[in-house]
Amino acid sequence: MIRFLPSNWIVILALTCGGITILVGSTTGTLPIPDTISSDSPNQNITTTLSWLLKVARYSLVGSAIVLWLLSIPPVWKLVWWICSKFELMYPYINGRYEIYMSSNWEVIEHITAKSQSFDDCSIKITEPKPTNLICDIDIGLFRYKLRILQSDEAGNVIQWSRAISIDLIWPCDGLPHRLTYTYNQENKPSAMKRTDVESFYGSAIINVFSSTEMRGRYWTNRNWYRGLNTAGEIVFRRETVPSPKKVQ
């Protein structure tokens, strides 16, 4: 489940909506407070009180439905999220396009599984993972999400596309910052695949959201797992500026 508000704010927001409904309704006369509630008389009419409470619930549901309908419109939702994130009332605004820098442990796997590698040889030289440049588009709405990774113009690697099949937004806890976690499916280009690769696989990532312009973390996959060739590595999301909601595609 995607959470844009911390749990305590969700409760506060629900209570605030109920209070506004009663205040507006009693002020406009459409939801007058019955005398049986405002009076100190012990002879209160339970039927009148229940009728008023049901009317409050009906008004609240209608009002909530209207608000949710408005927020389901992408431009409205993006504007609300962008403004609220500026005041740190909601999760950081992470919609937009990022440049991605990925590194993998594949060279280490190749070295370990090489035929010339002796099982008795423990002096394996771990080299710096080779980075890969990609492009990522993130578009998270109130009821939908999209996280899609594509090749950049100069990448020239095997990936055809990669898209998230689940996303979760985690608020700071245990001394950790905001985090973005997702599970994804990747499809590779058959024409560019090596014999050690597979055409399709799944993976997961947990990303620390340090700001609206930079996120970084780790990923891991089940890529060719039955041969012990599943990969893992570091991933960095970076962009120069935070786009306004109008510029988010």
Please state whether 228 falls in left (phi above 0), alpha (psi between -120 and 50) or beta.
left
Whether the CB-CB separation of 189 and 150 falls below 8 Å is answered with no
* CA of residue 135 relative to chain centroid, distance: 17
The pLDDT of 215-238, averaged and rounded, is: 91
Burial class (CB in 10 A: 0-12, 13-18, 19+), 188: buried
Confidence of residue 188 (pLDDT cuts 50, 70, 90): confident
The pLDDT assigned to 1 comes to: 46
Burial class (CB in 10 A: 0-12, 13-18, 19+), 184: buried
Share of residues in the chain with pLDDT > 70 (%): 71
Whole-angstrom distance, CA of residue 190 vs CA of residue 199? 6
Confidence of residue 150 (pLDDT cuts 50, 70, 90): confident
Amino acid of residue 226: Y
Which residue has tokens 């113009």?
153
Instruction: Kindly list the domain boundaries of the chain, sorted by start residue.
Output: 7-71, 96-247
Using the predicted structure, report yes or no on whether residue 45 has a pLDDT greater than 70.
no
The pLDDT of 28-41, averaged and rounded, is: 58
Whether the CB-CB separation of 197 and 191 falls below 8 Å is answered with no
Whether the CB-CB separation of 44 and 13 falls below 8 Å is answered with no
Confidence of residue 226 (pLDDT cuts 50, 70, 90): confident
Whether the CB-CB separation of 121 and 153 falls below 8 Å is answered with no
Arithmetic mean of pLDDT over the chain = 79
- Listed in sequence order, the DSSP H helices in the chain are 7-28, 35-38, 46-71, 74-86, 106-113
